[in-house]
Amino acid sequence: MAQDTNQQKVTTSQKDDKGPWGAVLVCGGGIAGIQASLDLSAAGFRVYLVEESPTIGGGMARLDKTFPTGDCATCIISPKLVECMRDLNIEVMTMADVTGLVGEAGRFHATVLKRPRSIDASKCTGCGDCWSACPVRNHPEIPDDFLPRLELNKEETTHLDELLYSYEGEPGAMMPVLREINETYHHLPRTILEQIASRWGVRLAEILRVASFYDQFKLQPVGRHIVEACDGTSCHSRGARAILERLQEIIGVQPGETDKAGRYTLRTVRCLGLCASSPAMRVNGRSFGRVNLDRVPEILEQFK
Amino acid sequence: MNQHIHTAEDLKGVEAAGLTTLYPNRLKIVVGSASCGIAVGAGAVEAAAIAAIKELGLDAEVTRTGCIGFCSQEPLLDLVVPNGPRISYGNMTPEKTRSLLSAYASGKDLRLDMALAWFAGEEYILTGESHPYSPPENAVAGLPEWSSLAFYRSQKKVILRNCGSINPLSISEAIARGSYRGAMTALTGMTPEKVIEEMTKSGLRGRGGAAFPTGLKWKFASQASGETKYVVCNADEGEPGSYMDRTVLEGDPHAVLEGMLIGAFAIGAREGFIYVRSEYPLAIDTLQNAINDAEKAGLLGDDILSSGWSFRVKIRVGAGAYICGEETALLESIEGHAGEPRSRPPFPVTEGLWGKPTVVNNVKTWASVAPILTRGAGWYAAMGTERTKGTTVFSLEGAVKNAGLVEVPFGISLREMIYEIGGGVIGDRPLKALQAGGAARGCIPPSMLDLAIDMEDRPGESVMIGTGGIIALDDSACMADMARFLVGFFLDESCGKCVPCREGLRQLSGIMDRICGGSGSEADLVLLERLAGTMKAAAVCGLGGMAPGAVLATLQNFRPEFEKHIHDKSCPAGVCRCLAKK
């Protein structure tokens, strides 16, 4: 820790019984900590600002704008950073952790552990050359390759191997691959998506973004039979709502849900293209046109 | 068929093979087995026919065909009698099939009492030739001829030329009716510039709804710089109430492949993609089969028809997102991303798939290409109106007696469409409204029935039926409920990329819920109009810009009905359950 050269300048008020007395330790050098330190200093306290990272500024320094006014974040925080560093009453301790605190209100004793910075801070111009020159420390952290959490079983592995092999080198393979997995498992199992992310070297989030965009891709397991009620304009005009209500009543779930026994998943679909045979529905890809309320239970019964 | 087709003679050879299966020397039983037929029991009819043949020892064969368009008569079964007529039977059941075939087996009785119509002949649009059937005298006495049926009288089948007449799994039957003649003409006898010129002269405009001149689009793409170019077929027919693209893919997939081949040659593309929505599994299978056949015949691949030109087509399947019907969203999806639209410009003709020049056309547009080349631009341009040439396909459905696919030249009136072709409203109830041309067009009143169908709106003259779906609504429909339904559809399908669409639709939907739920106020209508204006001005893509039209148009045309919901708390049609029926 640097010598406390400013000891003498510490407020005269320390000796004055009426004014502020003592010092305050602020933990965290984000915008809240900085502002608190400045206010305390202005009020006449000696402030120790402890920050664990190499610099103060925190999250706000990374932002473009602030809510709700949309003001420029840097424009707000920069003057405060400079002020904080120049304030003789504030001692900024970066790369430091508060490791102990004893005492009581008004008479605390804090222990602060300061990690080495390995440079002479008084000579630092902020050029950044030390970063590349340092053989040991401060290497930028490269995250490990993404590794799936769970291994696949043999059957799943073979299927995935074949699938990925058949689309190897093909541009835009994401959609057909996801589609085939969705067809095989009736949803997109997380473990398989993780495997694909790892093998293709793309982030899982990228795959999930595509997977969650399309209606037909399901991230949760579905029932044995997928019941789709058409909710297109023609079907709507020919009584699709009543058909859907009948399906909800028999299966006992809302659209998008699966019944407890895992037998049916009910969905609505915007137009099956059977508009001249409306109202229409579909179970496991098998279409039924000119459906009426009496036929609904009959159709469902065909799928055990 | 395994040999490659190189020359016109080779094509003739395949044609001969196709004719023998089209018109065999024994009884041919044809079952309409497109999705619309299967959904109402074509499978059982086909099984009954096969069983009956076995049982009766009939010398006959059973084949499948696509949808001939008369969907309200499905399941349809046709008998093609050697040296006799082709007779179509509607609303078939397994029982009716058995009795028909046993009557035929016992004494060549064609059970005309059950029949719908007979065919005088088959017209081959691509070649201009025809194949007449020659039934013996009195064989079909009293039965109407197919093209004299009210449903077919005004139709002109160009896009649907082969649907319902060939086995969609047979490339030789397609070739027998003239398929790939257009490709032969273009690839072996024309320059790409000449092909584009012919397309421009024909006046063909995009049939997906936006009506952009096809020749111009191709010209832009051919002039765009870059070695790699693509052609894409938009078969993501998400518009509720439209199913003609499905029918073309299920009934005549080679029409699309041939169109794409010609387009690729014209703009200089070596690769093509067909983006089909996942709700159409049969279309995907049929198309894949057609691609395999075309590759085996050398009509796709390298050195096609000995012209040195190579072209390949791949299918990409959607996953249930309406927005992917928008061309830039579709391209994003093919590239393997979430289907969010891109800002335009740049347009796909200069920066499309993977940043390369790309022509995206609808199924119907691609299917219109080959006849223009075989019959000439002049022949095509002679159909339709002064401003909008050619034919297009409409799907006529809802409360009409004759529901199905209708292909007519532009210019016929909505009244003809509903009351002549459609045969009027079911139960002869009054027609209340039409939901026509896509969900974003809202509902139009019967007072507009005399306007001509076109690709653009001209007040007092024509009405735009962009995507071709025409849903007739009788007096049991509530207009506020329809508006609420249509907004709900767009709310579901908004991709959420831009705020005007994502939030605007949520608010519009809330307003319609209030009106239909009995808590609407006059202020809601004002807010609705303001909101719609903002969405139109500020949304990123067509979906957000067009969606408020669904409510606005309906409100404009049926304002008194909305006001009844607000002021009297009543729903005249009795659809909105929270409200009294008055």
Numbered ranges of CATH 3.40.50.11540 in chain B: 171-381
- pLDDT, tens digit, 9 for 90 and up, residues B135-150: 887 888 889 999 999 9
From A210, A236, A287, residue closest to B35, measured CB to CB: A287
Q: Does domain A5-117 have CATH number 1.20.1300.10?
A: no
CB B319 within 8 A of CB B25: no
The mean pLDDT value for B235-255 works out to 95
- Determine contact, residues A40/A68, Cβ cutoff 8 Å: no
> Stretch B179-192: mean pLDDT, rounded?
95
Inspect the interface and report whether the beta carbons of B319 and A216 lie closer than 8 Å.
Answer: yes
What is the pLDDT, as a whole number, of residue A8?
39
d(CA A122, CA A130): 14
User: CA-to-CA distance for A276 and A285, rounded, in angstroms?
Assistant: 18
In percent, the amount of chain B with pLDDT more than 90 equals 86
> Has residue B494 got a pLDDT over 60?
yes
d(CA A79, CA B11): 81
Residue range B13-56, pLDDT digits in tens: 999 999 999 999 999 999 999 999 999 999 999 999 999 999 99
Contact of B62 with B49, CB cutoff 8 Å? yes
d(CA A48, CA B19): 95
pLDDT score recorded for residue A126:
80
Residues in chain A: 304
The shortest C-alpha distance from A286 to chain B (Å) reads 8
What's the pLDDT tens digit per position in B70-86? Answer: 999 999 999 999 888 99
Domain boundaries, chain A: 5-117, 154-213, 225-301
Judged by a CB distance cut-off of 8 A, whether residue B279 touches chain A is yes
Question: What percent of chain B has a predicted confidence (pLDDT) above 70?
Answer: 100
B552, pLDDT greater than 60: yes
Question: Which CATH number applies to B171-381?
Answer: 3.40.50.11540
Pair of tokens at residue B168: 């969609």
Q: Which CATH code of 3.40.30.10, 2.60.40.60, 3.40.50.720, 1.10.15.40 fits the domain covering B17-144?
A: 3.40.30.10
Q: Kindly give the confidence (pLDDT) of every residue in chain A, 304 residues in length, as a single tens digit, with 9 standing for 90 and above.
A: 333 434 434 444 444 556 677 899 999 999 999 999 999 999 999 999 999 998 899 999 888 888 888 889 999 999 999 999 999 999 999 999 999 998 887 788 999 999 988 778 788 888 878 777 777 665 555 555 566 777 889 999 999 999 999 999 898 999 999 999 999 998 999 999 999 998 998 888 899 999 999 988 999 899 999 999 999 999 999 999 999 999 999 999 999 999 999 999 999 998 999 999 989 999 998 999 999 999 999 999 999 8
Kindly state the average pLDDT of the residues B523-532. Answer: 93
Which residue in B88, B86, B78, B76 sits closest to B41, CA to CA? B76
Q: Which of A37-41, B277-281, B455-459 has the lowest mean pLDDT?
A: B455-459
Residues 6 or more apart in contact with residue A248 via CB below 8 angstroms: A254, A255, A266
Cβ B471–A216 below 8 Å, yes or no? Answer: no
Ordered alpha helix ranges (H), B23-170? 35-39, 42-56, 94-107, 150-153
Chain B: residue whose CA lies nearest to A291: B40
Strand-pair category, B309-317 with B271-276: parallel
Task: Identify all chain A residues contacting B492, using CB atoms and an 8 Å cutoff.
Answer: 270
Residue-level pLDDT at A144: 59
- For chain B, how big is the Rg over CA atoms in Å? 25
**pLDDT digit string, tens, across residues B81-104:** 988 899 999 999 999 999 999 999
Are A171 and B335 inside 8 Å of each other by CB? yes
> For chain A, how far is it from start to end, CA to CA, in angstroms?
75
Q: Does the beta carbon of A90 lie under 8 angstroms from any beta carbon of chain B?
A: no
**Cα gap B443→B432, rounded to integer Å:** 9
Alpha carbons A115 and A124: distance in angstroms, whole number = 17
Q: What is the pLDDT of residue A68?
A: 81
Is the per-residue pLDDT at B123 higher than 70? yes
Show which of residues 481-510 on chain B sit within 8 Å of chain A, judged by CB atoms: 482, 485-486, 489, 492-493, 495
> Is residue B2 predicted with pLDDT exceeding 80?
no
| Residue B101 confidence (pLDDT) | 96
Distance in angstroms (rounded) separating the CA atoms of residues B258 and B242: 23
Q: What residue ranges of chain B are covered by domains with CATH 3.40.30.10?
A: 17-144
Strand (E) positions, B180-252?
230-235
Give helix B42-56 / helix B94-107 axis angle, nearest 10°. Answer: 30
Domain with CATH 1.20.1440.230 in chain B: 479-568
State the pLDDT at residue B29. Answer: 97
pLDDT in tens, A76-110: 999 999 999 999 999 999 999 999 998 887 788 99
**Sign of torsion over alpha carbons B331, B332, B333, B336:** positive
Dist CA B173 CA B22 (whole Å): 6
- Domain A225-301 falls in which CATH fold? Glutaredoxin (3.40.30)
- Per-position DSSP letters for B544-555, written without gaps between them: HHHTHHHHHHHH
* Domain with residues B479-568, CATH architecture: Up-down Bundle (1.20)
Q: CB–CB of B403 and A276 under 8 A?
A: yes
